[in-house]
Amino acid sequence: MPNQHGAWAMLATPLAVGILASGPAWVHMPLTAFWFLGYFAFFAAGLWLKAPPRRRPALVPPLHTYAVASAAFGALTLALDPGLLRWAPLFVAPTAIGLVASARRDERSLWSGLATSIGSSLMVLVAYDAGSGTDWERAWLLTGILAAYFAGTVLYVKTMIRERGDERFHWLSALAHGAATVAMTGVDPWLVLVFALLTIRAAALPAYRLSPKAVGIGEVVATVVVATTALLVT
C-alpha cells in the first residue's frame, strides 16, 4: 500500500471534484475502484522496478493482484461507459515518467513528482465525463486549478522536508505559488486569496522546523480548502 500521505490526497481529490462537479453516477463506483487499484498496481510496479533482483519475487504477488483487480474494474467501467477510453492517452506520459523514475531509483525527484501530480489531476476530466457534466470549460478549469495546486505542493513539501535549507527550492516554490496566484486573477477573487495565502506559506514556513506529520496535516487542510473553493466559485 502507498506509504505517502500526499499520494492519498492526490488520488482522492481529483476524483471527488470530478464527481461532485458532474453529479454522481453508477459508473463512478467501478471507476473509483479502478482508479485506486490502478494506483496500487503502479506503486507496486515502482517498488518492483527499483528493488534488487533478489527481492523482486516477493513483490510479484501484490503487483499481480492489484494489476488483475484494476483490470477487472477497468473493464467493468468501460462496459458501462465505453467513451471513457478516450482519456487513456492523457495518462500514458505521467505513468511512464513515474515508472522510469522508479527504475532509476529517482521516484522522489522533482520531475517525477510533478508528472505524477499533474497526471492525477487529469482524473477530474474522467470523473466529470462519467457523470452528467456538460460544461467542459469548467471541467478543464477545475483540472488546471488542482494541477497548479498539487504542483506547488510538490515544491513546498520538498522545502519543508527533503530539500530543507536549499534556497533554490525555496525560491522556486515561492515563485511557482506566486505565478499560480497571478493565474487565478482570471478565475475568481476567492481563489486569488487562497493561492496568495499558499504563497505566503511557501515563502515563510520553510524557516520553521515542522515535523512531517504537521506538514501533512497542513496539506490535508489546504487541499480541502482549494478543492472546496474551486467547486464553489467555478
pLDDT digits (tens, 9 = 90+) for 71-115: 999 999 999 999 999 999 999 999 999 899 888 887 778 888 889
Taking only Cα atoms into account, the Rg of the chain, rounded to an integer number of angstroms, comes to 18
Note whether 9 and 223 are within 8 A (CB). Answer: yes
Other CB atoms within a 10 A radius of the CB of residue 101 amount to 21
Q: In b/e form, how buried is each residue of 135-172, taking b as 16+ CB within 10 angstroms?
A: eeebbebbbbbbbbbbbbbbbbbbbbeebeeeeebbeb
d(CA 103, CA 50): 5
Residue 60, pLDDT score: 93
Going by the DSSP 8-state scheme, the letter that residue 163 receives in this structure is T
Q: At what angle do helices 212-233 and 5-22 cross, to 10 degrees?
A: 10
Q: Please, which pLDDT band fits residue 2 given cuts at 50, 70 and 90?
A: low
Q: How confident is the model at residue 21 (pLDDT cuts 50, 70, 90)?
A: very high
Is residue 232 exposed (0-12), middle (13-18) or buried (19+ Cβ within 10 Å)?
A: exposed
When the pLDDT of each residue in the chain is averaged and rounded to a whole number, the result is: 92
Q: For position 23, what pLDDT does the model report?
A: 94
Nine-digit cell at 191?
481563489
Residues with Cβ within 8 Å of residue 194, at least 6 apart in sequence: 184, 225, 226, 229
Residue spans of the domains in the chain: they are 5-233
Spatial neighbors of 48 by CB under 8 A, at least 6 apart, are 56, 59, 60, 63
pLDDT tens digits, residue range 143-198? 999 999 999 999 999 999 888 888 888 999 999 999 999 999 999 999 999 999 99
**Residue 4 pLDDT:** 67
How much is the average pLDDT of 49-63?
91
Is 230 a residue whose pLDDT tops 80? yes
| pLDDT exceeds cutoff 70 at 6 | no
pLDDT for 102: 87
Q: pLDDT tier at 3 (50, 70, 90 boundaries)?
A: low
pLDDT at res. 112:
85
Question: What secondary structure does DSSP assign to 110-129, as a single string?
Answer: HHHHHHHHHHHHTHHHHHHH
Nearest in space to 67 (alpha carbons), one of 89, 29, 107, 95: 95
